[in-house]
Amino acid sequence: MADWVGSCDRVLEVDLSRRTTRVFRISTEDRRRFLGGKGLALRFFAERIRPGLDPLGPDNVMAVFAGVVVASGAPCSARFSAVTKSPLTGLTASSSCGGPFGIALKTAGYEGLVLTGRCSEPIVLEIDETGARFLDAAHLWGRDTQETQEALELGAKDGALAIGPAGENLVLFANIASGHRFLGRGGFGAVLGSKKLKAVVARGGTARYIPADPQGFEKACRRATAYIHRNRFTGNLYRNAGTASHVDLCNAGGILPIRNFQDGCDPHASQISGWTMRDRFGAKPSTCRPCTILCGHKGVFSDQKIRQLPEYETVGLLGTNLGIFDPDLVAAWNEQCGRLGLDTISCGGILAYVMEASEKGLMTSPLRFGSPHGVSEAIEAIAFRQGLGDAMAQGVRRLSEKYGGTSFAMHVKGLELPAYDPRGSWGQGLAYAVANRGGCHLSATLFPLEVFLGFLKPRSPKAKAHFVRFFESLYAGINSLPTCLFTTYAYLLEAPIARFTPKAILAWTMQNLPAVAVRLMDLRLFTRLFETIYGISLSPAEFLRAGDRIVVLERLLNAMEGVSRKDDTLPERILTENRPCDSAGSGSKRTLWRRLARLGCPEPAPSPETPPLLALDAMLDAYYALRGYTRNGIPMKKTLRRLKVPMPTHGRFDGVPDRAVLKPFVVRVFFTILGRALQSASGMDDVFRRELASWPDGFTVLFKVLPFGPRMALRLDGRKRLRYLGDTLSEREADLTIGFKNMDTATRMLTARLSTVDGFAQNRLSVVGDLAAAMKLTRLLDRIQSLLYPEWIAKRVVKRVSPIPMAEKLWKRAWLYLLGIPLGV
């Protein structure tokens, strides 16, 4: 029995090939920089791998870490984190789990466990305070996750990691079970399977942990508990109806995936929501331990069996996304997946793809949307890799490459999308696109802000990058304490500043001053827990910086695998298709004053206006700038230096150039001036009106600096006036794209040092689209330059200054500079 203050700081490293172990200590320096949990797991993982290694080979490393908060008795302190290289994505994967293994590991006297090498035959690794033992697991091989854990004879203070048949058979999205919770995404189970490690058992209860500042700790816990009880999400929705309570909210917000993301809401959705399941099956808490939120439940199903109620992601992907609205079926498949050791999100995504591909005739299978026929068999076939299941076990990316239909393969970087459709929540789209482990909703969650709470406009790129960056860093920090991500709702929203500020002001600040808003977020509960338990100070800024460091290190590892901007994208379907739910009712939203203004006017026929396509590039640009990445999404050297990210020895990143700052800024300013001037002139100038009369409605022009520079779009509205849209438009909506081949050309042309004529003549512009339209546009550009510039400048930039009477020119110029450009009228 040993007593420790905060943490034992001990890490057990096990070489499975040689069957040797060693214990090393976590330095204070590392603790400050990486906190614990995911941070430290990543740090020790990073120094043990090299780019290009085979995720299922002996060189792959898996690090499983508890942290400071674990086993402290604080609310929601049962989490632990793991990091490995994912066989599904080929990139760094991290995962968090609330099973009993975390506390068991820490109370066995180790904060972390690093697994390297590979066993020759199946074994179980048993860990206790004296060290590790390798036990034969031949008799367990082939058993499912629950049978395996039962066979391990776990005491009350023990915890295990166990894989099922899916992990043994190297299904690329196999997971690891701990109790009835899972290290779910990215194929951790396959990595253990490749190491022939059936299970890891931690025999805990021998080490005890006391907080460094017991009184402060008590106080923080009391406050945390009060916040959790008071918060609407943690204290009511999740506690009573679990995460599946999201179904109603997502359905209303149009982000519930239906039939492989072909739609965003469905009238049957309520049949499968958390509240309905609670009413039908009862809901007894069945959660991580200890937990204050109690989001996990179990119930008695129609066949009188007690099962875990499925979580929202499972309901979404094994339910609505397959066109299934029967909770009995979903719960049964959920249990089946859990026993076999399959990630329900990836599994559901793959089933949906197969259903759509089968309906489209790309492959033959009995699976069809809306029909449970063959689903259970398919899940079984995946786990045992039989028949088509063998291809399905490779994940949706490889499946679609083999059978075709990559446009509806719903994955990012190979990881299947979770159950929030980004088309109704653009910030979540950005989060998916840039998430280090691929299509992941827990890297940063913006859908609560956009859809549930209404703080941010869902279909706008505005402010999204700030919040994605903030949540990524915050969540990386929380997973490194580690505690439950859901505490964010309570700790952030119930803190005085958020609680007592009127919602309208909160929303306005978040929307318009995101940089201020994220700085005002009160993170002190998280840092207080860390400080009072471990005894070293941690300011909220340091906490977020640690999060930044973790995210950037993870990105750096991915960049070494070849990830760049080209990979930070979303499925073709998300970027190009609109859903039926998008057009219904979207035109009816009209503000009160507009309705008043239109009073008495004949109501125009409701336009079948389609909502804008997701403008990912605008958000990516802003995100990379905030993160300190190049415009191509590679961490810059000075960012690594600033954050003190340990530079892996096998770098190849010495040649990464910094971002240009001045010229893009100049270009952006001039784009705004030009755009607003064009918008204004289109309303008052005859030449503009004459020219624009022949353009089709909705014609969209995009100005852009190639390849990833600033952007500016203009669109012709129904009244034949140009509307300046700035950088809020998806490039795919542009009918005509004027690309400046480089930043220098853009700067020189916009600042009137290179004329439009010469720009075209010297081939310094790339025109994509209709050439006649480009011709018309150049006439408008000539005209606006004649209006904006005094004659001696205009002469240099246009072939011939259009003769405008002095009086007209002067008032128009005054209008443009005084009203048009500043106010956009």
Partner 1 sequence: MMPSYFEFHCPVKIVCGYKALENLPYELKRLGASRPLLITDLGVAKAGLLNTVTAALQDSEVLIGAIYDQVPADSSVTVVREGAAAYRHSACDSLVALGGGSVIDTAKAVNILITQGGDDLLQFSGADRIQGPLRPLIVIPTTAGTGSEVTLVAVIANPRKNVKMAFASSHLYPDVAILDPRMTLSLPEKLTAATAMDALAHAVEASISVQKNPLSDAYAATAIRLIVENLPAVLREGSNTQGRLALAGAACFAGIAFSNAMVGMVHALGHAAGALCHIHHGTAMNIFLPHGLEYNLEKRRDAIRELLLPMAGPEVYAQTPALVRAEKTIETLRRFQEDVRSLSGLPTRLRDADVPQTMLESIARTALDDGALLFNPEDMTLDEALYVLQKAY
Q: Residue type at 592?
A: L
CB atoms within 10 A of CB 459: 18
Closest CB 788 distance from partner 1, rounded Å: 18
Phi, psi of 535 (to 5 degrees): 90, 10
SS3 label, residue 550: helix
Spacing of C-alpha 353 from chain mean position: 21
Binds partner 1 (CB under 8 A): choice among 362, 586, 758, 793: 758
Span 711-750, contacts to partner 1 by CB under 8 A: 736
> Does 700 contact partner 1 by CB under 8 A?
no
* Tokens at 436, concatenated: 């280090």
Residue 774 interacting with partner 1 (CB under 8 A): yes
Q: Could you say which of 775, 810, 818, 825 contacts partner 1 (CB under 8 A)?
A: 775
Asked whether position 757 contacts partner 1 by CB under 8 A, the answer is yes
Out of 134, 275, 695, 760, which residue is the one contacting partner 1 (CB under 8 A)?
760
Residue type, 480: S
Residue 804 touching partner 1 (CB under 8 A)? no
The CA distances from residue 433 to 362, 395, 454, in Å, are 27, 18, 22
- The residue (of 673 and 757) whose beta carbon lies closer to partner 1 is 757
Contact 653, 798 (CB under 8 A): no
- Contact status: 776 vs partner 1 (CB under 8 A): yes
Q: Does 751 bind partner 1 (CB under 8 A)?
A: no
Size of the site for partner 1 (CB under 8 A): 23
Give me the least distance between CB of 704 and partner 1, in Å please.
13
Exposure string over 701-715, b if 16+ CB within 10 A, otherwise e? bbbbbeebbbbbbbb
Peptide bond just before 482 cis, omega within 30 deg:
yes
Please, which residue, 428 or 786, has the CB nearer to partner 1? Answer: 786
The token pair that represents 255 in the structure block: 């982000």
| Count of positions (residues) in the chain | 825
Pick from 54, 136, 770, 808 the residue near partner 1 by CB under 8 A.
770
> Any contact of residue 693 with partner 1 (CB under 8 A)?
no
Whether the link from the prior residue into 696 is cis, omega within 30° of 0, is: no
Distance (Å, whole) CA 161 – CA 98: 11
End-to-end CA distance of the chain: 75
Residue 769 touching partner 1 (CB under 8 A):
yes
Region near partner 1 per CB under 8 A, out of 323-331, 369-377, 511-519, 762-770: 762-770
Q: Does 813 bind partner 1 (CB under 8 A)?
A: no
d(C-alpha 388, C-alpha 378), whole Å: 8
Which is nearer to partner 1, 231 or 755 (by Cβ)? Answer: 755
CA distance 76 to 227: 13
Q: Kindly write out the interface string for residues 353-382 of this chain, putting x where it contacts partner 1 by CB under 8 A and - elsewhere.
A: ------------------------------
- Residues 305, 762, 822, 825: which binds partner 1 (CB under 8 A)? 762
The least CB distance from residue 474 to partner 1, in Å, is: 40
285 binds partner 1 (CB under 8 A): no
CB of 354 to partner 1, least distance (A): 24
Nearer residue to partner 1 within complex by CB, 767 or 804: 767
Question: Which residues inside 778-797 make contact with partner 1, applying CB under 8 A?
Answer: 778, 782
Among 798, 812, 815, 820, binds partner 1 (CB under 8 A): 798
Minimum CB distance to partner 1, residue 273 (Å): 42
CA angle 735, 740, 746 (to 5 degrees): 130
| 167 vs 759 by CB, closer to partner 1 | 759
766 binds partner 1 (CB under 8 A): yes
Q: Which of 25, 595, 732, 800 is close enough to bind partner 1 by CB under 8 A? A: 800
Cβ 498 vs Cβ 492: under 8 Å: yes
State how far the alpha carbon of 682 is from the alpha carbons of 149, 714, 715, 757, 824, in Å.
71, 11, 11, 22, 11
User: Can you tell me the distance from the alpha carbon of 23 to that of 420, in angstroms, rounded to the nearest whole number?
Assistant: 42
Q: How far from 600 is each of 256, 281, 593, CA to CA, in Å?
A: 39, 54, 13
Note whether 118 and 96 are within 8 A (CB). Answer: no
Q: State the DSSP string of 575-633.
A: HH---HHHHTTGGG---HHHHHHTTTSPPPPPP-PPPPPP-HHHHHHHHHHHHTB-TTS
Tokens of 88: 């599904």
- Stretch of 163-171, 242-250, 724-732, 772-780 contacting partner 1, by CB under 8 A: 772-780
Which of 135-143, 599-607, 707-715, 773-781 is the region at the interface with partner 1 (rule: CB under 8 A)?
773-781
Specify the residue, 134 or 760, whose C-beta has the smaller distance to partner 1: 760
Q: Does residue 752 interact with partner 1 by CB under 8 A?
A: no
Helical H runs in 6-52?
Answer: 28-34, 37-46
Q: Does 763 bind partner 1 (CB under 8 A)?
A: yes
Cβ 770 to partner 1 shortest distance, Å: 5
CB of 662 to partner 1, least distance (A): 22
**Residue 607 burial (CB count, 10 A):** 9
Question: What is the binding site for partner 1 (CB under 8 A)?
Answer: 736, 757-758, 760-764, 766-772, 774-776, 778, 782, 798-800
